[in-house]
Amino acid sequence: MDLISIRDLDRKNVEAILDSADAIADGKKRPDLKGRTLATLFFEASTRTKLSFQSAALHNGMGYVDLLPETSSLKKGESFADTIKTVEGYADVLVVRHPKEGSARLAADMIEKPVINGGDGANQHPTQTLIDLFSIRRYKKRIKGLNITLLGDLKHARTMRSLVYGLAMFGSEVTLVSPPGLEMEPNYLEEVRQKFGLKVSIKNEPDYSDADVLYVCRIQQERFADPYEAKRVMEKFMIRKDDLKNAKEDLVILHPLPKVNEIEVSIDSMKQAKYFEQAHFGVPLRQAVIEYVLSR
């Protein structure tokens, strides 16, 4: 199967993947996919998604091939379509990241092999959402009923769009906080509300004392029409250690990373800050995802 949007999974599917990732993370299971190959095709910058997919493939006993757009035949004018159709012959599963919304779906529609969306523009990033749900479940032992605050550029962040859907699926209570003008797209939110009866509040200022999980993302400057506007918002948007003085003892702070300057560096050493461990969970989680898509 392809994994293009978090909508491709229902709650049972997600739970199966999280359970499998738990078993892998705890050393109770190791998928054996010897002889299979993963391809990473990243048309947009990446550190965690690409490397953790490659690491996951190696841990599953697989090999991987990596297309580097800058030194590939794309430079000679080859199309995205021809590139995808070619790489299909070199791998059993393809991970595609691209700045244009819909590109992973386009790739999936062109080939038989499974395609995993590693992020398409401001649209979807399903495997990041699985990491986020996995992290929340490991730290909090549940997802349902938790008060989860999503803070940042909710207009352009694919991580936030995918995550709000995943949280709604599990019955979390979600608070959305963004700088003015960077609110989540109302139509998408309405879709999630109608489908799951999501309990959501929209605020201009976060209430840090209320949250069980604080999930932050950066201002997605590369998706702004006006770079000066992005810079202006970035200068004002920062969470300081002092802001968290009334936060719950067991607050969990997550972030898909990269962080730029939206989290004061001193927060990194607080016990509530879990984002580097969250990034590390990318390996067992993506091991489970690779196994899942290859088995369906």
Which residues in this chain contact ligand NCD in the complex, by CB under 6 A?
48-49, 119, 125, 128, 157-159, 217-218, 220, 256-257
**Is 159 noted as a catalytic residue in this protein?**
no
**Is 97 noted as a catalytic residue in this protein?**
yes
As a whole number of angstroms, the distance between CA 70 and CA 76 comes to 10
* Shortest reach from residue 32's CB to ligand NCD, in Å: 27
- Contact present, 194 and 165 (Cβ < 8 Å): no
Q: Which of 12, 75, 76, 141 is catalytic?
A: 76
Q: Which of 105, 125, 218, 274 is catalytic?
A: 125
H or E element, residue 293? helix 282-294
Radius of gyration in angstroms for the set of CA atoms belonging to the chain, rounded to a whole number:
19
Whose Cβ is closer to ligand NCD: residue 49's or residue 287's?
49
Q: Which of 36, 40, 48, 158 is catalytic?
A: 48
Closest residue by beta carbon to ligand NCD: 256
Whose Cβ is closer to ligand NCD: residue 31's or residue 282's?
282
Residue type, 174: V
**Is 76 noted as a catalytic residue in this protein?**
yes
* Shortest reach from residue 91's CB to ligand NCD, in Å: 20
Whose Cβ is closer to ligand NCD: residue 119's or residue 166's?
119
* Shortest reach from residue 224's CB to ligand NCD, in Å: 13
Whose Cβ is closer to ligand NCD: residue 125's or residue 286's?
125
**Is 48 noted as a catalytic residue in this protein?**
yes
* Shortest reach from residue 41's CB to ligand NCD, in Å: 15
Structure tokens at 115: 């395609």
Residue 290: CA count within 13 A, CB half-sphere: 35
DSSP 155-171: TT-HHHHHHHHHHHHHT
Contacts 24+ apart (CB under 8 A), 106-114: 106/80, 106/81, 107/41, 107/80, 108/2, 108/4, 110/81, 110/84, 110/85, 111/84, 111/85, 112/88, 113/88, 114/1, 114/2, 114/3, 114/293, 114/294
* Shortest reach from residue 100's CB to ligand NCD, in Å: 14
Whose Cβ is closer to ligand NCD: residue 36's or residue 149's?
149
Phi, psi of 24 (to 5 degrees): -65, -45
Q: Which of 36, 50, 59, 97 is catalytic?
A: 97
Q: Could you list the active site residues? A: 48-49, 76, 97, 125
